[in-house]
Chain A
Amino acid sequence: MYARELGGQPLTLEASGALYKDALVMYDRETQTLWTQIDGSGMRGPLAGRKLKPIPAVQTTWGEWKRQHPETLVLRKPEKILNSPYANYALDPHTFGISGRQQPDARLPGKALVVGLREGEDALAIPLEKLRKKPLLETTLAGEPILVVYDPVRNTARVFRSQVGGQVLKFSLAGRGKEKQLLLKDREGNRWEAASGKAIEGPQAGAALEPVPYLVSYWWAWVAYSPRTRLGP
């Protein structure tokens, strides 16, 4: 949060759509100067070299903030009663101009992280939040069975095809092995390393599950590229 008045002139700030050193860059509509969000310094343009004064702000929850400040005001949002973390902004009047879309996809908060998968015409996003609660997910992509497994210790997700040699395997978690490797087992008596997809024990020992390309992305970025994405699990 920054004071946006410089030398008596209030600036109107907006996202410039650019990143600099991994940080969001703003610009002001008055002079088109670019400002980094990290420290509020002007990087390019008429006000380059100037600095916006940071203002301490608190990041907390609505419940907590209300307790601390019972008389608080709150920014009005599009009218919809929210009773779940994943609000439905069906009537959001604010446009979201990425890829020409006029309506944001409100199935998830924009900065929710998702495991994004795409094959052919099919796109599937699985919230990381859901994987943290249930780290093994068997689903399909473009009609083919796949396995999504999340390792909270390593904070990584892996996605594989569940079909091996014409047979669709059913998996479950099998604890951890050497070096805390997350292990899976199937109903055929095989044990698999989740990280590599390799069978380390059983009739399929030595075989490997075929990895499926995936990305971990912010929901809003995923939707920008795959507007018709399905949302799992």
Chain B
Amino acid sequence: MSGLPLGYLTSSGERAGAIVPLTWFVLAVSVAVCVVIGGLLGLGVWRTRRHGPRVEPRAVAVERGGHGLGWIRWGLIASALPLLVTLVWTMAALGRVVGPPRRPALVLDVTPRQWWWEVRYNGDEPDGTFLTANELHIPTGRRVLVRLHGADVIHSFWVPQLSGKTDAIPGQTNLTWMQADAPGRYRGQCAEFCGLEHAKMAFEVVADMPAAFERWRRAQLQTAPPPATAAAQRGQQYFQYRCALCHAVRGTDASSFYGPDLTHLMSRRLIAAGMLPNTRGSLAGWVQSPQAAKPGALMPDQKLTGQQLNDVLAYLETLQ
């Protein structure tokens, strides 16, 4: 099922995997039922041909050809077995996947917002905690607990290859979990209608081998280095004046949390909540006019001069 980033008839982890066989089973039962009933219906209608094509209903005499109750009896008996199996299997599968793991290897706090994903990694000490956005890294083979916090409207957290949907609802914290068998990138998507850009609210879960994950985590804890080139320095000044109204870069004065934390912007593969590749070109386009790429996004068009844009990009590119 490659080529289907959001497909779920296959799985890449324990939790999603527990559901795949059940999904195929109910799918097979459903197709079989449609084929059998469709066949019976088709044959039954085919029998109308005995009258020839254009008979008036009134020309055919009314008679009760048997009571026909056997159809209902046998139909119900035949339906009961798959229903029963489904019921039992459903409860069994539910038991396996519903509960959050007792000792998760990692606990993440995810807060979906219109229309991006804020992700908090918690350390044992305050300096071990950091924020990132739209890209979750997890270690392979480990159970990861995700606490979902509602901030504005309702969103739904969904990584089809790893985990079914769980809503993030204001006023409550919902728990979900996932586990990835192998390293890779798994696409996630908001699955509850949340306004203008519900369509463009994706994210990625990156599963790394535990050692690689640790390296990533340590790198994310670094604050941003002071920019070295003149262009980047000018860019930073402009950033503080303009972008820092909403964005944070740890290690600088920019510390607002209305938008994604950009401390390690360049480490992410995609920008704009999974919508654009993180290249200089698309970054420039996004900074200049997010409303073109994602009409309704809460980030306004910036309308920078060419010089300002180049400087800001030079600065952003230092945020490795």
Say whether A and B bind each other.
Answer: no
